[in-house]
Amino acid sequence: MKEVKIAKNELVSFLDSLISEYKVFAPVKRDGFVAFQEIHSGSDALLDYVNSKKPPKEIFLPQSEVLFSYHLGGEGLGIEEPSFEDKQTVIFGIRPCDARSLVILDNIFNSQEYKDVYYTDKREKTLVIAIGCNQPSSTCFCTSVGGGPFSSDGSDLLLIDIDQEYVAQAVTDKGEKLVTKHSQFREVERRSLSLMQKVTQRAGALIRTKIETGAIAEKLAVMFDDAFWDWLHEKCLGCAVCTYLCPTCHCFDIADETLDQTGRRVRIWDTCAFPLFTLEASGVNPRPTGKERMRQRVMHKFKYFVDNHNVAACVGCGRCIKECPVNLDIRAVLNSILNR
């Protein structure tokens, strides 16, 4: 893996040259929180932040997305397939946990059998530049789920902040081409590399939460009828905060929206927390109460997904912990499961 460096005072010019070629998404301050938005000037990128409120999954899996449009009343179905933008995209400033979530989502949307072209098209056209976390939050637990504050999973280029400059690790060919092409990336000295070691070690030590998630799937395998589920869901409001803000949650609904004779079929984020999720037209609901739905959420993320894809559908970003209106903490849930 090629390692180079880029001085902090050259970052803006690097971003500006990216902007001339790519559509660039970067963290910006918006309405009092951080969001990934398209920037048109390198100086608009926010560098001093912990993480965005909404996960960058929305760039690949927008909350509402048109699958196709249609005109009624004509010959045939009148379907107009969507056209995909040609322009290449860069996501700059994504955190390693969120970059890793993209790899996890690829399991679903880029599977052998069916390619979700809406997602895969964006993924193929996007370059991921991550910035490692020198200062993990108290709610971060990436190391418990196979990640880390400087994990390169899912990144093309990983930047590590060593005060006046970033060490840049070219993780993939795409990343390597990028650093070769842009003059702001220079040879990195040994001194910088050893400073990087110190930074990464210190950051790793700052992560206080340590959960043995490796054993969770096994435990859950025999817990389907456990009384644990009877009380776990009691305070849950059944809203969609944890799922919509989760980088690996991907469930969606499909609906037709028509005005007069034209319309479109859209896909919209959905959540297993809503009763409607599994409600059948007959009125029967296989998950009738919060108990079944909470059980589904936990088992899907930490058992079923592991069964099918060998990885838990969780990157330890901590958004669900911070934003849950009733402080239902997934770390406490996992620890309770381990202690059953």
Partner 1 sequence: MPDTSVMIRDTAKKLLDEKRVDLIIGFEKGTLPLRSTPCFVRTSQETEKLIWNASCENNLARYLRGRKEKVGIVAKGCDTRSIISLIKEKQVAREQVFIIGVPCHGMIDRRKIEAKLDGKEILEADEVTEGVILKGSGFTEIVDKAEFLHNSCSTCSYRNPVIYDALIGDKVEENRGIDEYGEVKEFEAQSADKRWHSFTNEISKCIRCYACRNACPLCYCQECFVDSSQPQWIGKTTNLSDTSIFHIVRVFHTAGRCVDCGACDRACPMGIDIRKLTKKIEKDVKELFHYQAGINLEDVPPLAAFSLDDPQQFVR
Partner 2 sequence: MKNPYIPIAMRAEKIVIETDDKNIKTFSLSFLNKAEESSFNYLPGQFAQLSVLGEGEAPFGIASSPTQPGALDFTVNEIGVLTTALHNLEEGAIIGVRGPLGNCFPIELFKGKNIAIVGGGFAFTTLRSLLKYILHQENRSKFGNVTVIYGARRPGLLLYKDEFKQWEVRPELDVYLTVDKADEGWRGKVGVVPNVIKEVAPSPEDAYAVVCGSPIMIKFTLPVLIRLRFPPQRIILSLEMKMKCGIGKCGRCNIGNKYVC
For residues 267 to 296, the per-residue mask of contacts with partner 1, x marking binding by CB under 8 A and - elsewhere, is -x-----x-x--------------------
Is residue 66 exposed (0-12), middle (13-18) or buried (19+ Cβ within 10 Å)?
Answer: middle
Whole-Å CA distances, 7 to 128, 166, 179, 296, 300: 19, 6, 13, 47, 43
Per partner kind, with CB cut-offs from 5 to 8 A, the member of partner 2, partner 1, none near residue 252 is partner 2
Print burial letters for 178-188: b (CB count within 10 Å at least 16), e (below 16): bbeebebbeeb
Enumerate residues 53-72 that contact partner 2 by CB under 8 A.
67-68, 70, 72
Is residue 186 a contact residue for partner 1 (CB under 8 A)? Answer: no
Strands 185-187 and 165-170: unpaired
Residue (268 or 338) nearer to partner 1, CB:
268
Which of 257, 288, 338, 340 is in the footprint of partner 1 by CB under 8 A? 257
Residue (20 or 282) nearer to partner 1, CB:
282
Which of 266, 311, 313, 314 is in the footprint of partner 1 by CB under 8 A? 266
What would the DSSP string read from start to end of 266-295?
Answer: EEEE--TTSGGGG--TTS--SS-SHHHHHH
Enumerate residues 93-112 that contact partner 2 by CB under 8 A.
108-109, 111
- 338 DSSP β-pair partners: none
With residue 323 as reference, give the H or E element that holds it.
helix 319-323
Is residue 159 a contact residue for partner 1 (CB under 8 A)? Answer: no
Print burial letters for 299-317: b (CB count within 10 Å at least 16), e (below 16): bbbbbebbeeeebbbbbbb
3-state class (DSSP) for residue 91: strand
Per partner kind, with CB cut-offs from 5 to 8 A, the member of partner 1, partner 2, none near residue 108 is partner 2
Per partner kind, with CB cut-offs from 5 to 8 A, the member of partner 2, partner 1, none near residue 304 is partner 2
Is residue 52 a contact residue for partner 1 (CB under 8 A)? Answer: no
Sheet of strand 64-71: strand arrangement = 79-80, 64-71, 262-269, 252-259
3-state class (DSSP) for residue 119: helix
Angle between helices 96-109 and 117-124 (to 10 degrees): 140
Per partner kind, with CB cut-offs from 5 to 8 A, the member of partner 1, partner 2, none near residue 201 is none
Which of 201, 332, 336, 338 is in the footprint of partner 1 by CB under 8 A? 332
Is residue 153 exposed (0-12), middle (13-18) or buried (19+ Cβ within 10 Å)?
Answer: buried
Per partner kind, with CB cut-offs from 5 to 8 A, the member of partner 1, partner 2, none near residue 161 is none
**Among the residue ranges 92-100, 145-153, 193-201, 326-334, the one whose residues contact partner 1 (CB under 8 A):** 326-334
**Among the residue ranges 5-13, 46-54, 87-95, 107-115, the one whose residues contact partner 1 (CB under 8 A):** 46-54
Structure tokens at 239: 């809203």
Is residue 138 a contact residue for partner 1 (CB under 8 A)? Answer: yes
Is residue 323 a contact residue for partner 1 (CB under 8 A)? Answer: yes
Per partner kind, with CB cut-offs from 5 to 8 A, the member of partner 1, partner 2, none near residue 240 is partner 1
Print burial letters for 278-298: b (CB count within 10 Å at least 16), e (below 16): eeeeeeeeebeebbbbbbbbb
Which of 137, 144, 151, 296 is in the footprint of partner 1 by CB under 8 A? 137
**Residues at the interface with partner 2 (CB under 8 A):** 67-68, 70, 72, 76-79, 81, 108-109, 111, 113-118, 120, 250-256, 258, 263, 265, 267, 270, 272, 277-282, 284, 286, 296, 299-300, 303-305, 307-308
